[in-house]
Amino acid sequence: MKFFLFITLFASFLFSCNTTKPVAPDNTIISITHGTNFGHCRGYCRKEVVFSEDQIVYFESSVDSTRNPVKTEKFDNSSAKWKSIADKIDWNTFKNLEESYGCPDCADGGSEYIEIKTTNGTKRVTIEFNKENPELEPLLTELRTQRKTLLGK
């Protein structure tokens, strides 16, 4: 009987000492950023909305931060809004996209970008401002819609 008790305790000890830590998969999304930029403008030329699971942060910035200090607004994010964006992402497809499509901000036509930050790194894709891009659909449409709903812009 003592031997059985000893074996049971020893086995419990061995299995309780498992020191491996679970590793998050590389497609765990931390944040999704949708931004626009106009390189040759005056005023607030860069606008960015950063979506995370619990909040949304909106930034406006300028080349001249003395005249135009950075503006920031924070909003609570709902799980429904987060899910509506995150469900539109196929990380395996997104991570293999080119870094740039078309001629973003050529002749100050502006650029638009989507940046996805995951537990395994960050990927940004930049396109011409307000242009359609089949590689980024339906995510691009969802981000534009959420931005307009949130900011009225």
- List the one residue out of 13, 51, 16 whose CA is nearest residue 31: 51
Q: How confident is residue 19, by pLDDT bands cut at 50, 70 and 90? A: very low
Give pLDDT tens digits for 89-124: 988 899 999 999 999 999 879 999 999 999 989 999
Task: Output the pLDDT for position 30.
Answer: 95
One-letter amino acid of 93: T
Amino acid at 26: D
* DSSP secondary structure of the chain: -HHHHHHHHHHHHHHHT--PPP---TT-EEEEEEEEE-TT-SSEEEEEEEEESSEEEEEEEES-TTTS--EEEEEE--HHHHHHHHTT--HHHHTTS-SB-S-TTGGG--EEEEEEEETTEEEEEEEETT---GGGTTHHHHHHHHHHHHH--
pLDDT at position 11 over 90: no
| CATH code reported for the domain at 28-151 | 3.30.1560
Instruction: Give pLDDT, residue 153.
Output: 66
Locate the domains of the chain by residue range.
28-151
pLDDT tens track for 121-137: 999 999 999 999 999 99
